A and B are shown apart, each in its own frame.
Chain A
Amino acid sequence: MYTQGLDQAGKEQREVAETADMLAAFQARIDAEEKIEAKDWMPEAYRRTLIRQISQHAHSEIIGMQPEGNWLTRAPSLKRKAILLAKVQDEAGHGLYLYSAAETLGVSRDQLVGDLLSGKAKYSSIFNYPTLSWADIGAVGWLVDGAAIMNQIPLCRCSYGPYARAMVRVCKEESFHQRQGFEIMLTLCRGTDEQKAMAQDALSRWWWPSLMMFGPNDSESKHSAQSMAWKIKRFTNDELRQKFVDVTVQQAEYLGISVPDKDLRFDESSGHHTFGEIDWQEFMDVIAGNGPCNKQRLEKRQAAHDDGAWVREAAQAYASKQAALAAA
């Protein structure tokens, strides 16, 4: 997921070459459920929307490695450590699949990485919260990867072929993530009172930020309608959030821990849970860069990038030398 539609105000100037006929023909392809491929003609706004969404998604996967990486050296057993390492490695893979998909739209990897490091590009608000205890690793897998799956499954049918194919791969791997998270929660909830309290504390802190992952309410979401028309999005933010609440509340009940929302109740007539108001001010603050960990996350990414510079340079020098030798 991680595609919250966090836009910097988009410049919507159209290229002169886009005639009404071309736009109509493009929309007809979309309406016929045809997939759009990299070299096909597409409206500039479609291209820009996809670059923004796919790169935001990729950045989220990459930054998302940090909160979990925080517990790699302190996992409670070797088995847990190996599993967590595999999960964090998957997130790196997701970032790479997605950067590749974005590059098919004519943007370079360096440009994408540069936009993340400069703070120009956004990533999901959720990764700006800290993982304070081991139970948070359970909560992140269960809730954050769970919310991601909710958002990502429809993206497997997205109109842009390379993005859709990348998402198929991502979705297969995410369900391992969610299950391992739930299993950590289950183990804690079946443990001592203290362990169960850890699980409750993690749920209490991660619940609302997880709901924010779906982005603003539909009434506030400026890109939703166009993205739906282009079949980049298949469901609205509120529809996906509702689905997530409905399935997750039942899982929390099974665990025997409670969702921190006094307004939460099951509505017999609609068959859905109604829930309390999200603190949108908190959401806006985190997006604006003032969440608990924004600064730390970007600094760490920048440091990793800088520390890897000599490796990239050495590999390039070696490749150039080998190529020169082969040519001689």
Chain B
Amino acid sequence: MSKQEWPLYEVFIRTKSGLSHRHAGSVHAADDQMALDNARDTYTRRREGVSLWVVRSDSIVASDPAETAAFFEPAEDKIYRHPTFYEIPDGVENL
């Protein structure tokens, strides 16, 4: 038997209906079902969730922290996307 480390899964928990799933941590598991079971036992021993997602860590595509500034640069100079950019005279209501 080859001694192979079980793959890593990232765990996401929805704490209650109406909220998004949120990253909680990670677990190792041999397969998807075991990843769900391990995530339940590791991260929800106190009813922390109503729904769990697990996803293989190597399936996540992430932006590169070293490129953060360049990557998010397009949003930098578009302050007109925010309502506070616009000046509304006194006396105009409900806007």
Contacts and interface: CB of A to CB of B under 8 A. Distances in A.
B31 A41 contact: no
A93 B42 CA distance: 5
Contact of A103 (B26, B30, B65): B26
Nearest to A176: B46
Interface in B45-70: 45-46, 62, 64-66
Nearest to A39: B65
Nearest to A90: B45
Interface stretch (A280-288, A291-299, A310-318): A310-318
Query: Which interface class (under 10, 10 to 19, 20 to 34, 35 or more) fits A?
Result: 20 to 34
B42 A96 contact: yes
Interface string B5-35: 1101000000000000000111110110010
Contact of A315 (B25, B26, B30, B62): B30
B5 A110 contact: yes
Nearest to B11: A100
Interface string B56-92: 0000001011100000000000000000000000000
Interface in A258-304: none
Nearest to A36: B65
Contacts of A97: 25, 42
Contact of A318 (B4, B30, B42, B64): B30
A193 interface: no
A141 B65 CA distance: 41
A37 interface: yes
B95 interface: no
B5 A319 contact: no
Nearest to B66: A41
Contacts of B28: 109
A133 interface: no
Interface of A: 37, 39-41, 86, 89-90, 93, 96-97, 100-101, 103, 108-110, 165-166, 169, 173, 312-313, 315-319, 322-323
